[in-house]
Structure 1
Amino acid sequence: MEITVEALTGHLLASHDPQASGVQGQLLSSLVRTCRETARQVPRVDDAQRDSLDKLLDRVTAVSQLRNACVHGGWARDLDGSLIAVRGKRGQSDLVSHAVSADQLVEMIGEIRDIYDGLMGWLDRDLDVIHGPLQVQSVAEPQ
C-alpha cells in the first residue's frame, strides 16, 4: 500500500513543484499527510477531487494498523488457539497484538484491493487532466 500512496504523492509533488524532494521511504502515515497537503496546494485538483482523494486516504489510514500488523508483524497462536499478529511500534518497547480470523484477512485484502483501484483510478484521471486521455494506436504487423 505504501508504494501506491508514495507514487501518487510523488506524482502530485513533481507535477506541482519539479524541485520538490522525493517521498521515498517515508512511513505510510507521513505519505498520507503529505499527499493530503500537496493535493490542497495543486490548483488543478478541485474540491470534488480533493474530497474523493481524502476519502480514499481515510480508508488507507483505517486499514493500515491491521495491515501493518499482518504484513510486518509476527504470527502466533493465542491461548485459545486463535491466530494473532504481533508487532512492535517504532520507538516503543511494548508489543501490540491483533486477533485475526481468516474472514478478517479476506476482508482486509478486499479493502486494500478496492483502495488500490480507487487510488490508481484517481491518478489516472489526474494524468488525463495533465496530458489528455491516453490514446492507443494499433501497430501494423510487418509484412
Structure 2
Amino acid sequence: MQFTTHQDIEAPIDHVFAQVSDFSGFERSVLRRGAEVKRVVDRPVPSAGMAWDARFPMRGKNREMHIELTEYDAPNLMAFQSVSQGLEGAMQIDLVALSRGRTRMNISVGLTPKTLSARLLVQSLKLARNNLNKRFNLKVAEYAKEIEERFSRIV
C-alpha cells in the first residue's frame, strides 16, 4: 500500500531540509503524544545508519517499531525503513528547489505486510484508502505550513 503527496513550501531548500531532519524535535513531539522513542544508533552528525526504537498504543495494543535512516543526502533526500510486528514500511522525503525561496517536498510512504495479521490490517486500510489519503495529505500540508511559518519568523 502506497501513499504519496507533495507540497510547495515558501522557504529555501536548506531551511526545509533542516526542519525535516530535526530528529531531536521529532523525538520530543512523539514523546508529547504518549509514545516512547529511544535512539538506538546515534551519529555525531546525521547520516545513514541512525536508528530508533518506538513503542506506541494503536488499536488497543502496544506496538513496537524499529526505524532506520537508510539514506541521507542533504539537502535533497532522506529515506527510512521500519519494521513492526509483521509490517514493513518505507518512507522517502525528496526536496526539490523550485527557486531560491520555494521548495517542493515530495513524501511517499509504503507499507508491506509480512504476516497474515499484517495483511488483514493492510486490507482494512485499503478499504479506507480515500479517507486515509485525505488525512495524509492534510497532515503533510499542515506540516508544510508550519515550516513556512518558522521560516517567516526568522526572516
If each structure's strand is expressed as a fraction of its own residues, which one has the higher value?
A: 2
Q: Which TM-score tier does this pair reach, normalised by the shorter chain?
A: 0.3 to 0.5
* TM-score for both structures, normalised by structure 1: 0.33
Higher helix residue share: 1
Higher RCO, Cα 8 Å, sep 6+: 2
